[in-house]
Structure 1
Amino acid sequence: MVIATLGEVIADYRLRMALTPARVAVMAGITEAQYLGLEHGTAWPGSAAVQAVIDALRIPHTIRSHFQPADSPLDRSLSQILHGYDIPALIVDSEWRTVEANCFAQRLLPGCFTPGWSLPRWILHSNEARERLANWQQAAECIADLVREELAAGLDNPELRALDRAARRYCSDSDPRTHPASHLLSWRTETGPHPATACLVSVPTGRPDLRQVTLIPRGTQPDHPLLETKHNQPWDGPLLIDLLRCGVCGLLLTGGGAPVTYHCATGCLPDFPAAALDARVAKEVVPRVFGPDECRQMAIAQESLTADGFGMALNAPVTAKHALDQWKRSMTATQRRGILTSAVRSITVYGATDCDDWKRSALRYAWRDLI
């Protein structure tokens, strides 16, 4: 049996001893809420309380050695995982103070690696947060819900109480409506729609005293996009919206202006001319979608439809080169958008010195599985 977290370890040993959570809490001298928070991985009651639980359950030292004590530095593997993400991520302690942050988080939130910095304090107290977050009020309410949940779970310390007092100045005292682990942060930008990230909170393996906060870019592209049909709404926006991601801070790039450009809300990258970048991406995507086998299958399907009396607005391409020519000359924006979203999950854009240098910027594609 492989046990990945301290919560699973204590639950396993509690069941072996046929004890209820309430009984273990009494044996350890803590509240049942504190014990359940530890077992479920939702709260950290403190090092002394954890040690008392481990002693009460008589967990062997060979098992205890697999878990780092509170306040110990990150081990090498956890640090490598954190810095291996290509989106903003940071590890925080039980008071939501930064333990370690990767380069994308540091770029998106420049102060996050400062000792004592915390995301809840930044949202509640910083004027910068009010300026940068288009949905600041919702973010503050989300933080209020988070703090109340942790206080209710028995994780009581001066920092959480101070955050709770601050949150009550801005937010209603209503019941939590949205779990903070799935809340969206909407970053304000001067042009175009607000790029959004989903704030995902998880517990790192073997460290129930810590939390990992991951900011995942969110777009509006469908999970299963289709090529143009009479049921689809015509696409009239920039082709690569919701697909382009900044390789510096991890945010989705926005698009707009005249002529249309793609740009990062934090200014990490120069503006990219949309037409030029669209054409560059098409040269990578179209041959992947319209390979020899795909073209052959489309030709057979077209013959069957034609025989049944159905006409097609665009003939099936016979080669990838033919498809790319159709892209340039015949396809509608909706058809181009459909091809892009059916093939690509995201495209990460890495640096260029200026707009004229876009050809030398690096693009990394995350492909969808083509059916």
Structure 2
Amino acid sequence: METEELQAALESAGLSQYQSDAYVAVLELGKASAVEIADACSVPQARIYDVLRDLETDGYIETYEQDSLHARANDPGDVLANIRGQAATLAAAAEEIEERWERPPVDDHMVSIVNRFETVLDRARTLVAEAENEVQIALSPAEFEELRPALAAAHDNDAVVKVSIHAADESDLPDDDALSGTVTQMRHRTLPSPFLALVDRTQACFAPQAHSVNQYGVLVDDYSLTYVFHWFFLTSLWEVWDVIVSERSEDPPILYTNIRQCVRDIEPLLADGATIEVSVRGYETGTGVRQNVSGTITEATYAGVSTASGEHIPLAQLAGQVSLHLADGDEDWTIGGWGAFVEDVEATRITVESIQYE
């Protein structure tokens, strides 16, 4: 380090220009008279005595009389500890500034626009790892690898993890070891797609395609707005692409986190006379209190036109209100999906427990 740089560093550590200049001169001379020190630096002789006494007070040097005032440098241990402590403090401050710049505050009913994809990815990593019910996520193989520990944590939490992965070449897809214990269901999209993570119906993290002209990210903590992203995920990133991995059973118990998918699957069975027993986990729409209901499905209704042909209902027919009617032996319940407010219960999970024919 050049002398000028050392002096500048000492000034950053709290010394004045004269003090840093004099201290460097003392270091180079070893021990010297005040006059010799003044000659070796830019401090005027009229000021050198006051400067040396200030350095002594701060522990940098010691002075002694030998015909005239002399000075020598103290053991630099304390000085070095002080400088290194300040360096650590500055480094920590730099990290904190960077973190606060990258991490916008997320409050209830809030939308944040950020300018770095890393911020979106970091937020998604935190939310996904803490998911309790469902994760819907669209990403690339590289992003999947970065978020794999968080996805595995969500899977361990018994959350349903639905992954839409976009890769032009199937050889780029994760192998079986990477997928085991990580995803509940995965679909392969051959076209590039934005990054999108939806967690427990209330949180959304979005960033446009990597090659988009405008690079930004959107962080949403709002139930209604997340529902809009849910439909984008469902129609563009999920429904039309092939399933390549699935833990879902084709035989009871069969778990659904989406009432529309449940109705699509069971309506042909109901038309054939099946008796379907289900258990529902969700919330009372009037109070928000957790509610678990079990019973027999008596009817499935939706705003679209019934096919009445035993075929699966097109998704477009299920864009409006969709309800299940459930009898538990004591009373009848109406079950809705995400955003339900007319029905008795908003279902977060529907489990088909049994399917029987007379």
TM-score w.r.t. length of structure 2: 0.27
Which structure carries more strand by proportion? 2
State the structure with more CA Rg: 2
Q: Higher relative contact order at CA 8 Å, sep ≥6: structure 1 or structure 2?
A: 1
